[in-house]
Chain A
Amino acid sequence: GAVVSQHPSWVICKSGTSVKIECRSLDFQATTMFWYRQFPKQSLMLMATSNEGSKATYEQGVEKDKFLINHASLTLSTLTVTSAHPEDSSFYICSARPGPDNYGYTFGSGTRLTVV
């Protein structure tokens, strides 16, 4: 089946530093990648939609200058949390559709970010 590889699985960083999270589609081309954030015991909250070769579309309330998204190729999308603060600590997950006729969106394994 379609696989999205997400790295790192977990990261601890100091307040004020930046962290990059990578998502790679291993066996399909992901023209669109979705980035979610999930707080404990809550559902997934869509942060932004990235399209290969163009600017990402951010959901209302999400700071585009803080959460930088780059989708430079059909198999790689990255999310950079800039100047991280403790309130940015969360579980970040990416997702993509495996193909034009496949609506079974595939998720990465998630990245647990802790800002200290």
Chain B
Amino acid sequence: QKEVEQDPGPLSVPEGAIVSLNCTYSNSAFQYFMWYRQYSRKGPELLMYTYSSGNKEDGRFTAQVDKSSKYISLFIRDSQPSDSATYLCAMSSGGYQKVTFGTGTKLQVIP
């Protein structure tokens, strides 16, 4: 079993839809949870990170962490064609420990 599971998609939605992206994990030591957006042939771009359980909002993006269920989500409101990319979840136990990534979900927002 992988430490982090993420549905690879692809996920196609119409412009303006609410997008829900999810990851599950097995390592209870993970404390920090990150979401990245990666365009083709580019490095990942940090969208947001959260510590422990709870919600965090930044513009059209909302990240949720449920440590009891080992489940994290990223919601994108009013999705735009420019949001079309691969979204990676990532986790760390803290300090300068390595970051473990999900496989990424490819999202396509159709105009």
Determine how close the nearest CB of chain A comes to the CB of B30; give it in whole angstroms.
11
Whether B103 pairs with A104 at a CB distance below 8 angstroms is no
Using A95-B99, A104-B34, A105-B90 as known contacts, say yes or no to A44 and B44 having CB atoms under 8 A apart. yes
Q: Can you offer 17 A-B residue contacts whose CB atoms are under 8 A? A: A43-B101, A43-B102, A43-B103, A49-B98, A97-B96, A103-B49, A103-B51, A103-B92, A103-B94, A104-B46, A104-B48, A105-B34, A105-B46, A105-B90, A107-B44, A107-B46, A110-B41
Contact mask A73-85 → B, CB, 8 Å, 1/0?
A: 0000000000000
Using A109-B43, A110-B42 as known contacts, say yes or no to A42 and B98 having CB atoms under 8 A apart. no
Mostly, the A contact residues are strand
Residues on A close to B: CB < 8 A? 6, 31-32, 34, 42-44, 46, 49, 91, 93, 95, 97, 103-110, 112
- Which residues of the other chain, A, contact B44 by a CB distance below 8 angstroms? 44, 93, 107
Query: B66 at the A/B interface (Cβ < 8 Å)?
Result: no
Q: Which residue of A lies closest to B6 (CB)?
A: A43
Query: B32 at the A/B interface (Cβ < 8 Å)?
Result: yes
Whether B99 pairs with A105 at a CB distance below 8 angstroms is yes
The number of chain B residues touching the other chain, given as a range, is 20 to 34
Contacts A103-B32, A105-B46, A105-B90 aside, 9 further interface pairs with beta carbons under 8 A come to A31-B96, A34-B98, A46-B99, A104-B48, A105-B34, A106-B46, A107-B45, A108-B43, A112-B41
Give the distance in Å from the alpha carbon of A46 to the alpha carbon of B101 in the complex. Answer: 9
Determine how close the nearest CB of chain B comes to the CB of A39; give it in whole angstroms.
12
- Which residues of the other chain, B, contact A31 by a CB distance below 8 angstroms? 96
Q: Which residue of A lies closest to B48 (CB)?
A: A104
Determine how close the nearest CB of chain B comes to the CB of A59; give it in whole angstroms.
8
Contact mask B33-62 → A, CB, 8 Å, 1/0?
A: 010100001111110110100000000000
Give the distance in Å from the alpha carbon of A6 to the alpha carbon of B44 in the complex. Answer: 13
Give the distance in Å from the alpha carbon of A31 to the alpha carbon of B47 in the complex. Answer: 23
Within 8 A of A (CB), among B51-78: 51
Determine how close the nearest CB of chain B comes to the CB of A68; give it in whole angstroms.
20
- Which residues of the other chain, B, contact A43 by a CB distance below 8 angstroms? 88, 101-104
Determine how close the nearest CB of chain A comes to the CB of B78; give it in whole angstroms.
23
